[in-house]
Structure 1
Amino acid sequence: MTTTTYTVKGMTCEHCAGSVRTGISGIAGVSGVDVDLATGTVTVTSAAPPAGSDVAAAVREAGYEVVSRP
C-alpha cells in the first residue's frame, strides 16, 4: 500500500470533503481517502500510486482544484 498527499484548494466544510472523498474513491485501486479540512490536504491510500491526472480530474469534477501534488 502507498499513500500520496495532495493539497486541494476551496474545501471549507464536511460537504466539500465528502464530495472530494467520493470522487477520488471512484478511481481504480484507491482503498482510502482522508480529507483534512484544516490543512486542505487529501491523503490517498492505494495499492499503487494513482495517476495524478486522475486525482486532479476527480477533484475538479467535485468542484475544487489540486494545487500541489507529488
Structure 2
Amino acid sequence: MSEQSTWQVTGMTCGHCAASVSEEIREIPGVEDVQVTVETGAVVVTSAAPLERSAVDAAVAEAGYTLV
C-alpha cells in the first residue's frame, strides 16, 4: 500500500523549479510519484513506505530549495 506525504518547499517560482524539485525527490528509493504546486510550495509525494524527512530535505536542497 502506498503512503502519501505533503511537504512544504520555499523558493520555487516556476515550472522549471517544480521540475528540479520533482526530479531530485524521485531519486529517493521507494518514491512512486511527485506532484508540485509552485504557487503554494506544496509537494505531495507518493511512496512505497514513509519517507525520512532527512532524505526529502537532502533532495530538496540538492535542487536548490528549502524544506520548511
Under a length normalisation based on structure 1, what TM-score does the superposition of the two structures give? 0.93
Counterpart of 2:10 in structure 1 is 9
How far apart are the structure 1 equivalents of 2:10 and 2:50?
Answer: 21
Q: How big is the shift at 1:63?
A: 0.2
Is the partner of 1:21 in helix, strand or coil?
Answer: helix
How far apart are the structure 2 equivalents of 1:5 and 1:14?
Answer: 18
Aligned length, in residue pairs: 67
Counterpart of 1:39 in structure 2 is 40
The one-letter code matched in structure 1 to 2:29 is A
How far apart are the structure 2 equivalents of 1:50 and 1:26?
Answer: 12
Under a length normalisation based on structure 2, what TM-score does the superposition of the two structures give? 0.96
Q: How does 1:1-70 map to 2 (within 5 A)?
A: 1-67=2-68
Unpaired segments ≥5 residues, structure 1: none
